[in-house]
Each structure stands twice: as structure tokens, then as C-alpha cells.
Structure 1
């Protein structure tokens, strides 16, 4: 392959192609799935298993455990039947990068 060679991959989009693309609506995502219905204990076990590095040291593990506990305590105070319901009701999804200010 010649690194200096270029290929023109851009092409003009025909107006009928734009109209066709606008006809498609995005699929509605599921509001609930098995992870959102887990008990707190099962959720903690699963998340700590995913995000805790045994080689990272006990202090880091305690910090993650404490942070997860605080977040779940806060979410449990939000209205809803599932973790996802509570997350959406809390407003954090609309808060963007500032979402961490809400549970604190």
C-alpha cells in the first residue's frame, strides 16, 4: 500500500437519499432489562466484580465500595421500580457532565 496515495471516498448525496434517511425513526430502547431489576446486593456484587482490581490495593477498593454505596443509597431515594427508573427520575441523564453534583 502506498501511504501517499489517496482515495476520494466522498460522494454527493442525492436529495431523495436524504429524504429516505429522514423517514426512519430510531428504535425505542427497552425501559428495563435484567440488570436494572437486580437486588442491591446482586448489583453491588456484580459491579464490584467488574470494577475492582485486586491488584489496585485495599484503599482503592474501599473507596470504590464506599462510592458505590453512596450512589445506590441516593438512587434508592428516587422514585421508580428499577435502578433505571430511579436514574431517569433523578434528572442525572439530563445533567450531562454535571450529573455527579446531583447525588452529592
Structure 2
């Protein structure tokens, strides 16, 4: 019997339900069956955030979260990171963008 990679302690259906809930929360419920190449840069960033949250982590380390995005997508990603902060997550952002680096990401 071939075992599949899994998140410790979480069976497949629970993992799938958790993934769908996170994607819905990040505005990607209509993109569940898409491949990465079919997603915009902003959508790919949101998938990265969902992956970071999948195991219930409380710390998000975002390395240049807006670096490859247009200004609208950058604003969306920063809004999501602020929401996560407001929900009690620790969000650490590494960036060269002065708008993102401003206190609280005030530029976005």
C-alpha cells in the first residue's frame, strides 16, 4: 500500500476542507482547480499566504510580498496581511519598497 504525503494528524478530507476554507477566505474559491501558471501574480501571492496558514501557523514571514505585483495586486496582498495581523497573527515583512516599509504599511 502506497502512503501519500500528509500533514501530520490531519486526514485527507480535513486537509482538503481546510485548504478550500483558506482559499475562500483569501478570495480564491473560484480558482481551486487552477494550476499556478493560470493564476495572476497577486493570486499566486495569496496562495502562498494560504500555504503558510495551512498548518495553523501564527507567524507569517513575507519576503517582498508586493515586489512582483502591480499596485492594485500589491494593495490586495497588503490588505490580507493587515487582516491576518488584526486576527492575531504575527506578520513579518521584508521589503525594499518604502511604501510597504512605512509604519503599518501605510502606503498601501
Tell me which protein shows more strand as a share of its residues. Answer: 2
Class of the TM-score when normalised by the shorter of the 2 chains: under 0.3
Which TM-score applies when normalising by structure 2? 0.26
- Greater Rg over alpha carbons, structure: 1
Which TM-score applies when normalising by structure 1? 0.27
